[in-house]
Every structure is written in structure tokens, then in C-alpha cells.
Amino acid sequence: MKWRLALGAALSLAMLSTSAMADDGANMFLQKCGSCHVKGGQATPVNPADKASIVWNKFFTRGRHTVDFSQTVSVDDLQVIVQYLKDHAADSDQPAVAVIPK
Ligand code: HEC
């Protein structure tokens, strides 16, 4: 079973680095949101395609995120990330499902 884990890790690293190169927002999302939202982390994995773009649009401004991350995610960072989430939301042209592996 170990080799499958290793292969899975290598594959997700490859996927992470490709998407990071393709997209600044993806990079920031992985870095900032991924610090908590990873498998085995303090929060469950999240991905852009988990929600429709209209939901992402309001999620943070309406205070739906109950955990304060203002220490690590600046207002500017959040703007870039939300744009990225909307660009790859469930109802977008290019939904991104497995950015952070579930
Ligand atoms: C300091 C840790 C932390 C950071 C950083 C963080 N979150 Fe969260 N987030 C949580 C916790 C804890 C919850 C509630 C428990 C859960 O859903 O796993 C949560 C909940 C959520 C939910 C609700 C889950 C759902 O299915 O509706 C979403 C969406 C979400 N976060 C997105 C993000 C995004 C996007 C970022 C980056 C801008 C982010 N979070 C940054 C800790 C964090």
C-alpha cells in the first residue's frame, strides 16, 4: 500500500506545481487556504468547484467563513484568491475540482 501513497503524493505534487505555474491565484490559494484546508489539516479540503461563482462572491464578505485568517491572508490576497475561485467555480468554463486533494 505504501507505494500507492508515494505515487499519489508524487502525482499531486506534479499537479500542484503545474497549476501553480499556470495561475498566481491557484498558487496563493494553495499556500494561504491550503495551510488549513488539507487532508489531515485543521479544516477539510476545499476546491474552487465546491461552490458556484455567486456563492464565492459573497462567502467572505458576508462573514460565512467563521475562522479569522486575517493574520495570514491580507485583503489584497483574498481578492486574488476569490477571483481565482470564481474563475474555476462549479459553474465556470473551467471548474477546478481537485486542486487540494480530498
Ligand atoms: C486558519 C485556518 C484556515 C484558513 C487559513 C482558511 N480556512 Fe477555511 N475554514 C477553516 C475552518 C476551521 C473551517 C470550518 C471547518 C471546516 O469546514 O473544515 C473553514 C471553513 C471553510 C469553508 C466552509 C466549508 C464548506 O464546505 O462550505 C470554506 C468554503 C473555506 N473555509 C474556504 C477557505 C478559503 C477559500 C480560504 C483561503 C482564503 C480559507 N478557507 C482559509 C480554517 C481555515
**Which residue's C-alpha comes closest to atom 31 of ligand 1?**
65
What is the mean pLDDT of the segment spanning 55-84?
A: 93
What is the mean pLDDT of the segment spanning 18-47?
A: 85
* Burial class of residue 20 in the structure, from the number of CB atoms within 10 Å of its CB (0-12 exposed, 13-18 middle, 19+ buried): middle
Cα 18 to Cα 99: distance, rounded to the nearest angstrom: 10
Task: Tell me the best of 69, 74, 76, 82 to mutate to test the pocket of ligand 1, counting ligand atoms within 8 Å of each CB and taking the most.
Answer: 69
Pairwise pLDDT comparison (50 vs 15), residue with the higher score? 50
Inform me whether the pLDDT recorded for 16 exceeds 80: no
Give pLDDT, residue 98. 82
What is the mean pLDDT of the segment spanning 26-39?
A: 94
Cα 51 to Cα 60: distance, rounded to the nearest angstrom: 13
The structure's pTM equals 0.82
Inform me whether the pLDDT recorded for 7 exceeds 90: no
Give pLDDT, residue 34. 95
53 Cβ contact list (under 8 Å, min separation 6):
85, 86, 89, 90, 91, 92
Q: How far is the CA of 35 from the centre of ligand 1 (A)?
A: 10
Cβ of 31 closer than 6 Å to ligand 1, yes or no, is no
**Which residue's C-alpha comes closest to atom 36 of ligand 1?**
33
What is the mean pLDDT of the segment spanning 34-60?
A: 95
